[in-house]
């Protein structure tokens, strides 16, 4: 992160996009503030985007719409609550800067989703065509030369790269004071490394056919859990100058809740309603994902029902029919894998809330974080 001077004070960047902290404690105000902050950031890039010209403005606008098309803004919410729970102010320059950093997490998230969809060959995300599929379709309709699928993937890779680059710019230009920025740097750096490592571990688990629960949990932690809850909380804590005990408590809470969040995703990936999840039901099976749900089921099936284990294994990574997907759902339920994952979610929830109860987090943030924990693990989308 480049240091610069701003109005006589040494700050990170210029704060040119004007992040604004939420004016209330409700989740709706955090969502609205995050979307306003992200919108301001994209507007601050209009000049350079237009000066480059060509196809660039249109493609950047597609990224803007992708980022702003909706969502729960879970990561900014956890980062903001981490900041407030550590005693960070509700308003003023420090609060605005902290919320700018929190909002930057949505661009990092966009990068992860866009690239993940290419790797998984996913057709839809949030109920609409994924970026690479969308641009492949544009290529075909326009009658461009070359391969449409390759074009779509190329555009999506670059858009993901731009989102990652601009997430860094948002942090740099947030207006964070230098001392807070130094505390922030190690957490931000670790988070970026972890999310990329998690994606790599996921790919390796698939190609090697690693069916262990341990491997699935490792992927869950680093691909999703760490950058969804654990690191955002610690980013907020670092910005507020929290002590090591609170940062450790946030780490435990975030780790446990993040894994529980991903376990709920595992269940939704097989049993979820596409109208709510925005993705076809059974995508984890079609993509050959070695989730904790499937790892638990295979471990049980190898001992109790080898025929069921064969059905699951031969279905992974294939275009399963609706009938076969129903068979797999029945197997997962009959073997007790669904019940085991639900049990793990409950245990992780209890552990996460215990870590929160034993910490010095402010009462207001503690209540909000507990509510978010319940929402994250009982959701249907």
For 170-185, write each residue's pLDDT tens digit.
999 999 999 999 999 9
Confidence of residue 69 (pLDDT cuts 50, 70, 90): confident
CB 381 within 8 A of CB 267: no
Q: What is the mean pLDDT of residues 227-232?
A: 96
User: Can you give the length of the chain in residues?
Assistant: 381
CATH for 11-176?
1.10.600.10
- Residue 6: the pLDDT is 41
Taking only the tens place, the pLDDT of each residue in 1-14 is: 443 434 333 344 44
> What separation in angstroms does the CA of 358 have from each of 79, 236, 242?
20, 19, 15
Gap between the Cα atoms of 132 and 144, Å rounded: 15
Among 351, 113, 98, residue whose Cα is nearest residue 233: 98
Checking if the pLDDT of 70 tops 90, the result is no
Structural domain spans, the chain: 11-176
Residue 10, pLDDT score: 39
Cα 79 to chain centroid distance, Å, stands at 13
Helix (H, G, I), strand (E, B), or coil: what is residue 32? helix
Q: Which of 55, 78, 70 is nearest to 278 (CA)?
A: 70
């Amino acid at each position: 992160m480049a240091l610069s001077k701003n109005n006589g004070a040494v700050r990170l960047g210029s704060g040119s996009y004007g992040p604004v902290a939420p004016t209330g404690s409700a989740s709706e105000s955090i969502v609205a503030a995050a979307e306003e902050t992200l919108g301001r950031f994209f507007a601050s890039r209009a000049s350079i985007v237009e000066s480059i010209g060509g196809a660039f403005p249109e493609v950047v606008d597609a990224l803007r719409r992708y980022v702003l098309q909706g969502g729960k803004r879970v990561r900014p919410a956890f980062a903001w609550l981490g900041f407030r729970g550590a005693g960070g102010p509700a308003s003023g320059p420090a609060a605005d800067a902290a919320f700018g950093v929190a909002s930057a997490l949505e661009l990092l998230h966009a990068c992860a989703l866009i690239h993940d969809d290419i790797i998984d060959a996913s057709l839809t995300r949030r109920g609409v065509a994924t970026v690479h599929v969308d641009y492949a379709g544009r290529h075909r309709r326009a009658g461009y030369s070359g391969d449409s699928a390759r074009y779509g993937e190329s555009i999506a890779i670059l858009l993901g790269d731009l989102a990652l680059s601009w997430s860094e710019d948002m942090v740099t230009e947030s207006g964070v004071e230098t001392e807070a920025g130094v505390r922030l740097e190690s957490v931000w750096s670790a988070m970026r490394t972890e999310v990329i490592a998690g994606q790599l571990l996921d790919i390796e688990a698939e190609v090697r056919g690693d069916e262990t629960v341990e491997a699935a949990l490792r992927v869950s932690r680093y691909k999703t859990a760490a950058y969804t809850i654990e690191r955002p909380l610690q980013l907020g804590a670092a910005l507020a100058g929290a002590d090591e005990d609170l940062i450790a408590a946030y780490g435990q809470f975030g780790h446990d809740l993040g894994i529980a969040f991903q376990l709920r995703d595992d269940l939704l990936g097989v049993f979820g309603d596409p109208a709510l999840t925005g993705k076809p039901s059974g995508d984890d099976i079609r993509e050959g994902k070695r989730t904790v749900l499937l790892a638990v089921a295979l471990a049980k099936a190898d001992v109790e029902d080898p025929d069921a284990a064969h059905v699951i294994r031969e279905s992974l990574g294939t275009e399963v029919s609706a009938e076969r997907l129903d068979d797999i759902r029945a197997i997962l339920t009959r073997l007790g894998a669904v019940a085991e994952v639900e049990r793990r979610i409950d245990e992780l929830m209890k552990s996460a809330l215990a870590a929160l109860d034993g910490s010095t987090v402010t009462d207001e943030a503690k209540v909000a974080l507990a509510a978010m924990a319940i929402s994250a693990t009982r959701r249907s989308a």
